[in-house]
Amino acid sequence: MKNVDTLVADDSPKLERDVFEFKDEFKKRLEQNGPYLAGTASLLKDKYDIEAGSFPLEIQWKDWLNPLNPITNGFYIIAKRDFAKELYESSMNHTITVHLTVISEKVIIHRIILSGVGEYFTVKQIEDEASWEKAQEDDTLEAYHTYLSGYTFKKYREEALIKYEDYKTKKGEQQHSKIFEFDIVTVNAMGEIINTEQTQTQYHIEDLGNGVTLEMVDIPGGTFIMGSATEPEQDEDESPEHEVTVKSFYLSKYPITQTQWKAVMGNNPSFFKGDTRPVERVLWHDTLKFYKRLSEITGRAYRLPSEAEWEYACRANTTTYFHYGDVVNAELVNYNAKNESKGIYLEETSNVGSFSPNAFGLYDMHGNVYEWCADPWHENYDGAPSFARVWEEGGVSSKRILRGGSWLSTQWYCRSTTRNWLSTVNLYDNVGFRVALIANAWCST
């Protein structure tokens, strides 16, 4: 069976020489193995016998013909017996050009012509309607592999290649992904947990060396309403509400930790030291240096999330102020709650993963440290793009977006929609970041 991966990669089959004793054997080969092969044919001197009607051939396949031109392609072997007989007196073999020609849209007819005696035969190629219908019915990677590597006309080759690549990508993702289970909680208006639900999601593990890993969570694509319009004390920079479409991507499970930063950058700028605490006191340009070096180490194109990606990931299909509900407390988020009924104020960062995650499996999206996004600051969402790219046009490039609030912030500034900014030349001990990746980043490994 032909290797479809090779077929997709360079359209060049890797085939050895074939020897055919008689033209009937060659005809059988054509019937069984399809039309998309061509190369050079050599008559074999020691087996050539015009009296017995033996026409031995050795085919050295070397060209991969374009199957998308069914009117002008077909298969011809033209040989002249008398000429070949004379040639064999001084040469071991005689190379004959093999050319493919098709003379029907629905069937491919191969004609071998022996010039001088007028012999020829035809081979009808199998139509592929039934095999294409079967591939669509099964709708699996294996089904499209079978269609592409079969010996039919492949009228639907382009569609099959698209399907095959899609399923190949998904399979590659699954092979490199892991599942983790976690509990998500929902609170009432008093901040009391009223529901706990167990769920699971996929994630990928990036090896940073020396036992240090980076967990990247699969964020499914979707559409959501970004911003706010009805929240009390609403900040104008959160409006107008607008619909945004987000392609699937990956986001780090936690803010980048100090251990991860040290593994990549070799230092630790943080004020509040702790291996599993988020790294802080990093400039926006420092995050660029981090993900560029991370990309060099891993071979994957890491980056900061866009602001729209960040909010979409934080909400995790919720519409409340927080992914927990409309209020939170210090048992759910590390923030400045000293003036609230459950008035805990840690006054420092906490270990990542200390609180319950959202429905996407992301931890610390509210509080702990603010997180840098890739976007420059805009005063509001007027003119914001309708898909989740980095919004560069018209922004203040010296100011970059911060999201999520921090240990220093009050509850209001930890909401899913809250926007803030910081100059790219300033750093604080309540500002960190997490990294993102495009979808299918693991499909080729």
State pLDDT tens for residues 276-299: 999 999 999 999 999 999 999 988
Q: Report the sign of the C-alpha dihedral through residues 246, 250, 253, 256, in that order.
A: negative
pLDDT tens per residue across span 106-141: 333 334 433 333 333 333 445 567 788 888 898 887
Say how far apart CA 326 and CA 366 lie, in whole Å. Answer: 13
pLDDT of amino acid 44: 57
Please tell me the predicted confidence (pLDDT) of residue 132. Answer: 85
Q: Is the pLDDT of residue 232 over 60?
A: no
Residue 173 pLDDT class (50, 70, 90 cuts): low
Q: Does domain 179-438 have CATH number 3.40.630.10?
A: no
Average pLDDT of 324-346?
92
Q: Examine the pLDDT at 57 and tell me if it is beyond 60.
A: no
**CATH 3.90.1580.10-classified regions of the chain:** 179-438
Residues 307, 312, 315, 320, Cα dihedral to 10° = 80
More confident residue, 146 or 313: 313
Predicted confidence at residue 147, as pLDDT, reads 79
Assess whether pLDDT exceeds 60 at residue 91. Answer: no
**Which one has a higher pLDDT value, 400 or 2?**
400
Of the pLDDT bands very low, low, confident and very high (cuts 50, 70, 90), residue 442 is low
pTM given for the model: 0.64
Cβ atoms of 354 and 322 within 8 Å: the answer is no
The pLDDT of residue 104: 33
Contacts within 8 Å (CB) and 24+ apart, 113-118: 113/76, 113/77, 113/78, 114/55, 114/78, 114/79, 114/80, 114/81, 115/78, 115/79, 115/80, 116/80, 116/81, 116/82, 116/83, 117/81
What is the model's pLDDT at position 157? Answer: 76
pLDDT at position 143 is: 82
Average pLDDT over residues 236-254: 94
Please report the pLDDT score of residue 237 as a whole number: 92
For residue 96, pLDDT beyond 50: no
* Least confident stretch, 70-74, 134-138, 242-246, 294-298: 70-74
* Element spanning 180, H or E: strand 178-187
For residue 153, pLDDT beyond 70: no
Residue 330 pLDDT grade (very low, low, confident, very high; cuts 50, 70, 90) = very high
DSSP string across 216-280: EEEE--EEEEES-SSSTT--GGG-S-EEEEE--EEEESSSPBHHHHHHHHS----SS--TTSBP-
Check residue 101 and give its pLDDT.
34
Beta strand pairing status for 370-377 and 431-432? parallel
pLDDT > 70: percent of the chain: 65
Residue 164: pLDDT band with limits 50, 70, 90: confident
**DSSP H or E segment with residue 369:** none
* Among 297, 291, 283, residue whose Cα is nearest residue 252: 291
412: pLDDT confidence band, cut at 50, 70 and 90?
very high
